[in-house]
Every structure is written in structure tokens, then in C-alpha cells.
Amino acid sequence: MSSEPRTSRARGSGRGRGASQSRGAGHGDGPATHRHSTASHGFDLPVLPEAVDIFDTTLRDGSQQEGLSLTVDDKLRVAEQLDHLGVAFIEGGWPGANHKDEEFFARAPAELRLSTATLVAFGSTRRAGVRAEDDEVLRQLVKANTEAVCIVAKASKLHVTEALRTTLDEAVAMAADSVGFLRDHDLRVFFDAEHFFDGYRDDREFTLRVLRAAEEAGAEAIVLCDTNGGTLPHDAERIVAGVVADFECQVGVHFHNDSGCAVANSIAGVRAGATHVQGCVNGYGERTGNADLSAAIPNLSLKLNVRTIPPDRLERITPVSHHIAELVNIAPNPQQPYVGSAAFAHKAGLHTSAIARRRDAYEHVPPDAVGNGTRFVVSEMAGRSTLALKAQELGLELDSDALTGVLDTLKTLEYRGYHFEVADGSLELLLRKATGWEPGYFEVESFRVINDHTDNSGDPGRHTTEATVRIRVGDTRVVATAEGNGPVNALDSALRQAIGAHFPNLDAVHLVDYRVRVLDTGKGTGAVTRVLIDTSDGERVWTTIGVSENIIEASWQALYDSIVYGLLHADRGEGDHSAG
């Protein structure tokens, strides 16, 4: 855990801004304040805070996303990645709410070695009519053995009277008593004001009473939550600014993305003086998700010069984003800002030729600043300059005739249904072959797939798939047969059985996704199909493609390319014995 809290822990009134909200002297990582005076226009833009605390809630709020389920081991690994990124706080879950979170907090002290982050346990205020010291949720928070806790309280009159079915005075007392009880146990307390923005618009006086009670009881930060996700940026900035002006403790923001504005609202909140930003890496969360920290962090750090995570760790945000996506078993969004594989991908000929001269012509930040990179996407729309840039990116030399040949081949194949802009692995092999390179790893003589189905008197039956491949590796001829849970799995197993002894590096290469698209549905079962296979060696992921009226043939094409690409890059730096 962090040995030094980032904000004041003073008890009593809770007054006094946290260290990260200081607006005074400059900071070693950049200017402390950024006032942009525009007197000629009659107004000044806000004075931005020097730094904000990033509070990640992937393990609690993010895990409420439909289809996202984490084991305890998954949660521990995600927490390690968040600490590696350098966030200030990691909300680990709700101790006592379920066995999984109980186990997580029991194992965390021994198994997590956090260097930058502080682990936070989540809960709620005491129940109506129950003393704080008798409330089981609050007792579980104390037992969680974390340095900090976060409790949620109703900050909307509607939710107090209709959901809690209690009085407004009791809701205020619940907030004060709960914060006070936790502070009496020497815990740092973050106070999530649930439905704050809706409540503020409905009954501003009551909502501010709840915040004031938490502040005076010693809350380190009051966090304004847009629980329904419907607030727009101009309202977010105006309302947060009013709270910052009226309160002395740290003010935080927690936005949901139902209106598509969660990241914009988070930035608006910081512009208004908030110094604590909650969200999830990759924007995970219930319904449409929480504010995406993968975008909010670089926006604040690179665009507004507000420190969010250690500056030397900003380049980790793309690999951490992708690593966490693997851990939660949700495919990354290629179009995700900053960290998506297509975030700095260029397809239009005008764009690529301009970027060859000036990188900033079509890139709003240097891709390597966030651990990403420029990609030149090649399709039948590509010009010679795009192909030349792609070849240069791969370290290949293609003369004018070779470029023309590749471009003609590309157009022919894409007319038949290939789609190389999403198949980077197959594209690279195509370009390498244009230089005269041939993949001399192994030669395929033939392959065969047999699928047996037995019907057992109304029983769904049993399927057995068997594949046989005949391969030559050098002067050696190998015939291998393997079973699988389908034709692709069987072919993959048979091919690995045939060549695995010759290429031990193949052990690290594994298929991670398989996708099929029917290209001309009007032809029914005779339609052309496109197969895409994603493969990984643990460090990189590449995509290969196959197209055929025979789905097994299309699958074999994509599988063959995926294995050849994996062997090619496993050999690089060790002497590529197949290079021509």
C-alpha cells in the first residue's frame, strides 16, 4: 500500500483540502496551475488543479457489467495491473456481500504487493433506525482491514422517501453517524453521494445537507455520483463548481455513461475543481458503463496537464487496458480512444501520405505517449504510398514493380472477399512474399477432416471430429491424426502434433478467437464464407484470414497463416532459417 496518504486525514470538521488539490506552488511534473487569461473576451477559464486522484472501481462497479464475471484470482490479477498503471485507489469490492469479495479481502494482505495504490473496501451507510455500531455492513468494513473505505449514501430526496422509506432527517443522520463510526476506527472515508445530480436538481437543500453531514463527520472526500448517467457536461461543470465553492474537503466525481458523456463529464468536473475521479479501465460497468479511465487519464494528463498517474507510467495505459481485457475475458474495442488497436490506424491515402511527412497531421497525440502505435491499414482502397508506408513499418524493402504487384493482388483478393485491414498477420505474410520470402518451415501435402455423428434414440447424439494432416518438414514426411471438438480444433491439434517437435516455440502460440461471416447470404449453404482467427503468443495478438465456399478450407487458410506468422516472429532475433 502507499505509505503516505494523498489527502488530509484530519478528523473533526473534515475541513482542509487534500494535498492533491493544492492550487499553490508548482509541481515537479509540470505547472501547478494553468490559468488561461482571455481578458479580451471578458472571461477567464478555470484554474485547473495540479493533480487529481484516480480511483478505479473495476472490481466493484465495473464487475456489474452484463457478461463480466471475475474469480478471486482474476480480481487479484486486475488489482496488480491497476497498481502497475499507478492509480491512487483500487476499490476491491463489498466485503460481507458475497463469498467472493470476502475471500478477496482475506487474501489481499498476503498476496497483493501494492506500490502506488491504496486498496479500498466498499459498503453503505447504516440502515435506517439502526445504530452505526450495530450495523453489520459497517462492521464488515472495519473487518476488511483496509486503510480506506468508501460508503454510498442516498443524496436524492426521491430515493430516501421512496427507496429507503425513511425521513430526510434520518438520511442525514445515517450519513453523519456512518462516517463518524468509520473515522473512530481510524479509517480514511470516501463518501459516494448516490443520485447526487438528480437529487441536486430536485431538492438542492437536502442534497447539500447530506454532503455537509459527511464532511463535518470527517469524510476525506465527498464524491458526486451521476448514478443514472443522464447529466450533460455543461450541467456537470456548473454543479460541481458550486459544490467545490461551498465545501472545504476534497470533492470527487463518479459518472456513468448512459448519455455517452461520462469521460466529458469527468473532465468538466475537474475543470470545476474536483480532484478525485472515479471510473473503470475500459469503461466497464452496469448498463452502458462507467467513465472510461483509459480515456480520462490521458485526456487530463496530455490535454490539460493535470497529473493523474506517475508521468512515466502513462505509456503503460494501452498494455494495461489490453491485459485487463484479457483477464475479464472481454475482447478489446478496436475503436476505443487512445488504447484501441485502431486508435492510430490510418487507411485513407491522403492521411497516410500526410503522416509520412508530419506525424501530427492526423494524430492528436504521439501514440507512444500512451503505449500505442501508428498503424497503416491496407485495403483495396490503398494507394502505393500506403503500401510503401506499411512495408517500411515492417522493415521491408519493396521496389516499384513489387508495390504494383502487391496492390493488384490485394485488389483481386479483396474482390473475392478477403479483408486485409482486419487481418494484419495475413497482410504481413503477403507483403513478405512480395520481397521473395517464402515460409520454409513446413510444406503441406494434404489435410482431411472427418466428422462422425451418432444418434442414440432421441438423445442429442455424440459428435467426433478427426483431422489428418500430411506434412513435410525438410526431408521428413509426417502424418498426424488428432481429434478435436470441431474441425478447426482438430486441424490445429493435428498440425501441432505433426510439427511441434521441430518448432518448440509453437508451444507459446495459441488461438484466442475464431469468427465466421457469410459474405453472400443469398446463396444459402453454398455461400462464400470469411474466417478470421486471432492468435496470441502471450505478448502480441495477430489476426489471419481465409475465404472460401468451403468453410473448412477457409478455416485452414486462416489457421495456416496464424501458425506461420507465429513461427516467423518466434524466430526473429534468433536467426530466421526460413527467410529468403
Same domain, 294 and 150: yes
Residue type, 409: T
Last residue of a domain, one of 328, 356, 378: 328
| Residue at 340 is within a domain | no
Element (H, E) at 170: helix 168-184
- Say if residues 422 and 377 touch (Cβ distance below 8 Å): no
Q: Is there a domain that residue 353 lies in?
A: yes
Residue 40 inside a domain? The answer is no
Residue 193 in domain: yes
DSSP 460: E
Residues 479, 67: Cα–Cα separation, whole Å: 42
Phi, psi of 534 (to 5 degrees): -95, 135
* Distance from C-alpha of 151 to C-alpha of 125, rounded to nearest angstrom: 6
Q: Is 30 exposed, middle or buried (0-12, 13-18, 19+ CB in 10 A)?
A: middle
Could you tell me if 472 and 442 are in contact, meaning their C-beta atoms sit under 8 angstroms apart? yes
C-alpha closest to that of 345 among 515, 543, 566:
543
Instruction: Write the DSSP string, 371-439.
Output: T---EE---TT--HHHHHHHHHHTT----HHHHHHHHHHHHHHHHTT--GGG-HHHHHHHHHHHTT---
pLDDT for the residue numbered 239: 96
pLDDT value of residue 186: 96
In a domain, 333, yes or no: no
Asked if 190 and 314 sit in the same domain, the reply is yes
The verdict on 534 and 409 lying in the same domain is: no
DSSP 190-251: EEEEETHHHHHHH-HHHHHHHHHHHHHHT-SEEEEEETT----HHHHHHHHHHHHHH--SEE
Q: Do 31 and 307 form a contact (C-beta atoms < 8 A)?
A: no
Q: Are residues 364 and 320 in the same domain?
A: no
> Among residues 400, 415, 430, which one ends one of the domains?
415
Domain at 273, CATH number: 3.20.20.70
Side-chain half-sphere exposure of 397, counting CA atoms within 13 A: 0
Instruction: Return the half-sphere exposure (C-beta side, CA atoms, 13 A cut-off) of residue 520.
Output: 10
pLDDT by residue for the chain (580 residues), tens only, comes to 333 333 333 333 333 334 343 333 333 333 333 333 334 344 455 689 999 999 999 999 999 999 888 999 999 999 999 999 999 999 999 998 888 999 999 999 999 999 999 999 999 999 999 999 999 999 999 999 999 999 999 999 888 888 888 899 999 999 999 999 999 999 999 999 999 999 999 999 999 999 999 999 999 999 999 999 999 999 999 999 999 999 999 999 999 999 999 999 999 999 999 999 999 999 999 999 999 999 999 999 999 999 999 999 999 999 899 889 888 888 788 899 999 887 877 765 545 555 555 566 668 898 889 998 776 666 555 566 677 777 887 888 888 888 888 888 888 888 888 888 778 899 899 989 988 898 889 999 999 999 887 665 555 656 788 999 999 998 899 999 999 888 899 999 999 999 999 999 888 898 988 888 887 655 555 678 899 999 988 778 899 999 998 999 999 999 999 999 999 988 764 433 333 3
Q: Are residues 233 and 139 in the same domain?
A: yes
Residue 9 within any structural domain of the chain: no
Q: Is 423 part of any domain?
A: no
Residue at a domain's end among 415, 434, 453: 415
Same domain, 214 and 355: no
Look up residue 118 and give its amino acid. Answer: T
Burial class (CB in 10 A: 0-12, 13-18, 19+), 573: exposed
Residue 554's pLDDT is what?
A: 93
pTM of the entire predicted model: 0.68
What is the number of structural domains in the chain?
3
Whether 256 and 202 map to the same domain: the answer is: yes
Residues 206 and 86 in one domain: yes
**Enclosing domain of residue 402:** 345-415
Residue 464 lies in a domain: yes
Residues 6+ apart with CB under 8 A from 351: 361, 362
Residues 310 and 356 in one domain: no
- Pair (299, 353) in one structural domain: no
Judge if 364 and 278 occupy the same domain: no
Q: Are residues 368 and 297 in the same domain?
A: no
Return the bridge partners of 516, or none.
531
